[in-house]
A = this chain, B = another copy of it.
Amino acid sequence: MINTNSEKINEILSRGVEDIFEKDSLEKKLKSGKQLRVKFGIDPTSPDLHLGHSIPLRKLKQFQDLGHKVVLLIGDFTATIGDPTGTGKGLTRSVLTEEQVKKNMKDYMKQISKILDIKEESTFETRYNTEWFGKMTMRDFYSLARIEYVSQLMARSMFRERREKEKLEKKDLLTLSEFTYPLLQAYDSVMVEADVEIGGLDQIFNMLNGRKIQEKLGQKPQDVIALKLLIGLDGVNKMSKSLGNQIVLDDSSSDIYGKIMSIPDNLIFEYLELLANISIEEVKKIPNPRDQKAVLAKEIVKIYHGKKEAQKAEDEFNKTFRDKEMPTDIPVFETDKKTYPILDLLFDSGLAESKNDAKRVIKGGGVELESDTVTDWRKEIEIEDDTTIRFGKRKFIKIKKK
């Protein structure tokens, strides 16, 4: 049974949505009571999903919750070709081996399962595009290439930018292989008979091309939902692994909580819209940003680790930072030395990444020995049992004699 609850349909059509082509058509489809096939293409190249990746997955979950069928399209064939999307610097992406694709996909499915119900066959389907491209003949390919126009492909902003760069640098960057990528992605929509396709802003061109190719091949064109992109923890750039401004889905509950608490205030409602299930209006009633963030952080931890872990992460965080208490579980560092140069101790215990790091944090007043700030980085520590050292904001160690 398909749920046509109009509040939920509204949520699908608005929350986190940048644009819809065509909104009226999609709304009609959602209200029709027919089960829709909702395509989402994944390119199995990187195994670490972060919160940015969760946005389309969460949108898919909304469809799944209404009884629609999520079609996860795994571009295992196209991944071996290399789509340039998201390589940022205009470089041709390196080509993956089939082995790598297989391994990556296993990791992907595990991570996706934190958001989607991947075991329910009535609402979840997985397709690999090697299924059709693996057996496609050149004749088949050319019957497709015949209905695609060069000028339309060239209109893709990414290709135009690449060509501009080529002119500047006087070298060739865009291969024919990459240039045909939008056609292959469009054909995926034909093969899975997609009613809807979901993707990020950077996928709009390819998804709209899917509409065209579906129509040319006699199918009804899919509707396209383009989702907003997530700004990373730095508050400036799109969340991405290469920039390190990310929260990965595999992060521990305390890491997620802590990182969310560290975001700039102006991101709070964007994160709420894109990453949480709770009402934005409710959170707006909370008077200060610190407490708004706390609600957001707890909510996000709850989604990935459950309610109990969320409460624990909150308590822990408050103990450490708000209540200036130490966390309950402090790692222990054992040594048989009598005295220890502070820099060596901080480094050997794993608190500091290097002795320079240790020196820097001491100079910044960030190291405490039993609540006394250490000011001299040349200091020699006398080792006593149960001495607690705080390093930076959230790192602790307890010393034990061997």
Residues of A within 8 A of B (CB): 77, 80-82, 95, 133-134, 136-139, 141-142, 145-153, 159, 163, 166, 172-177, 179-180, 183
Contacts and interface: CB of A to CB of B under 8 A. Distances in A.
A389 to B, nearest CB: 53
Contacts of A134: 137-139
Contact of A141 (B80, B138, B163, B183): B138
Q: What is the count of identical protomers in the complex? A: 2
B174 A149 contact: yes
A176 B136 contact: no
B180 A146 contact: no
A204 B291 CA distance: 71
Contacts of A175: 145-150
Contacts of A173: 149, 151
A176 B134 CA distance: 20
A176 B148 contact: yes
A148 B81 CA distance: 13
B177 A163 contact: no
B146 A177 contact: yes
A221 B148 CA distance: 32
A376 to B, nearest CB: 59
Given A142-B177, A149-B172, A150-B172, 20 more contacts: A81-B142, A81-B146, A82-B146, A133-B138, A134-B139, A136-B137, A137-B137, A145-B177, A145-B180, A146-B175, A149-B174, A150-B159, A150-B163, A150-B174, A150-B175, A150-B176, A151-B163, A151-B166, A151-B174, A153-B176
22 contacts: A77-B138, A77-B139, A80-B142, A81-B142, A81-B145, A82-B146, A95-B146, A133-B138, A134-B138, A145-B176, A145-B177, A146-B177, A148-B175, A149-B172, A149-B174, A150-B159, A150-B163, A150-B172, A150-B174, A153-B176, A176-B180, A180-B180
A172 B152 contact: yes
A188 to B, nearest CB: 13
A77 B166 CA distance: 33
B149 A176 contact: yes
Contacts of A180: 145, 176, 180
Nearest to A143: B177
Contacts of A148: 175-177
